[in-house]
């Protein structure tokens, strides 16, 4: 039987090779082998996605590749989902996080990784997707009363829209009941401070630890 390291390495390869069938097959193999699904996702699938993301930023891969890698990751996640759900029902949810990539921005790779890591960590994650209008962030916040609203911006031109989330949550009268979090390549702690966001997430692991610290 294949070793744990071998299975995790192949899970990563399935993502960097954009192979959904292989990703699903390895996810099944990992469950049979008793590998912790969290470890498989972090060291296998997420590591593969991050590699694809870096190559995309360097211009050696293009958007269709990123989307194909994300599809492969989703295929693997589908197989693991029942096990994750089972574990989740045994632990109480740590809180609700509404997350999305901001209006005008179609990048979702970083946000997808963050959403899946928060999910694994035990949060109830409501992923609004990409190119999300500001009013949707506000409406969902009213409807779901989440603890945190997180927005990702991958371009300086869309980053400015994060100010609107702050403004419109204030106008809706609910800013005081919610913590806001911003992230994305051009976003910094200075920017978060400047617009009045509560939290800044530098990476997926950073987001998870900061969200936990803010809520626990």
Residue 191: half-sphere exposure toward Cβ, Cα within 13 Å: 21
Percent of the chain with pLDDT over 70: 97
Q: Please, which pLDDT band fits residue 85 given cuts at 50, 70 and 90? A: confident
- Residue 76, pLDDT > 90, answer yes
Alpha helices in the chain (DSSP H): 4-16, 20-32, 37-39, 47-58, 63-90, 109-120, 134-144, 156-159, 161-171, 189-195, 204-215
Query: What's the rounded mean pLDDT across residues 18-44?
Result: 93
The answer to which of 4-8, 86-90, 95-99, 188-192 has the lowest mean pLDDT is 86-90
**The model's pTM:** 0.73
Give the span between the Cα atoms of 11 and 156, in whole angstroms: 33
Look at residue 81 in the predicted model and tell me its pLDDT: 84
| Cβ within 8 Å of residue 7, ≥6 positions away | 26, 29, 30, 33, 35, 40, 44
Provide the CATH number for the domain formed by 4-90 in this structure.
Answer: 1.10.1240.10
CATH 1.10.1240.10 residue ranges for the chain = 4-90
Residue ranges of the chain that CATH labels 3.40.50.280: 96-215
DSSP code string of 82-138: HHHHHHHHHS----EEEEEEBTT----HHHHHHHHHHHHTT-EEEE--SSB-HHHHH
Q: Mean of the pLDDT values across residues 163-185? A: 96
Domain 96-215 CATH assignment equals 3.30.420.10:
no
Contact by Cβ (8 Å): 150, 98? yes
Pairing mode, strands 148-152 and 199-201: unpaired
Q: Residues 70-89: what's their mean pLDDT?
A: 84
Mean of the pLDDT values across residues 43-64?
Answer: 87
- Residue 91: pLDDT band with limits 50, 70, 90: low
Phi-psi region of 196 (alpha: psi -120 to 50; beta: other; left: phi over 0): left
């Amino acid at each position: 039987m294949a070793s744990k390291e071998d299975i995790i390495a192949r899970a990563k390869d399935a993502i960097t090779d954009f192979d959904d069938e292989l990703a699903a097959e390895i996810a099944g193999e990992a469950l049979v082998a008793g590998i912790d699904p969290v470890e498989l996702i972090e060291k296998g699938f997420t590591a593969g996605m991050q590699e694809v993301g870096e190559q995309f930023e360097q211009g050696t891969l293009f958007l269709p590749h990123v989307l194909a890698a994300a599809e492969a990751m989703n295929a693997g996640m589908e197989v693991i989902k029942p096990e994750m759900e089972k574990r989740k029902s045994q632990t109480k949810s740590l809180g609700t996080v509404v997350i999305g990539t901001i209006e005008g921005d179609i990048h979702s790779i970083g946000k997808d990784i963050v959403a899946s890591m928060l999910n694994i960590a035990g949060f109830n994650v409501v992923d609004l997707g990409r190119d999300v209008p500001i009013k949707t962030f506000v409406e969902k916040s009213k409807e779901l009363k989440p603890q945190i609203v997180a927005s990702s911006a991958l371009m300086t031109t869309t980053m400015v829209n994060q100010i609107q989330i702050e403004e419109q949550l204030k106008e809706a009268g609910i800013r005081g009941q919610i913590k806001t979090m911003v992230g994305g390549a051009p976003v910094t702690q200075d920017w978060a401070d400047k617009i009045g966001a509560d939290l800044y997430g530098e990476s997926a692991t950073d987001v998870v630890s900061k969200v936990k610290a803010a809520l626990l």
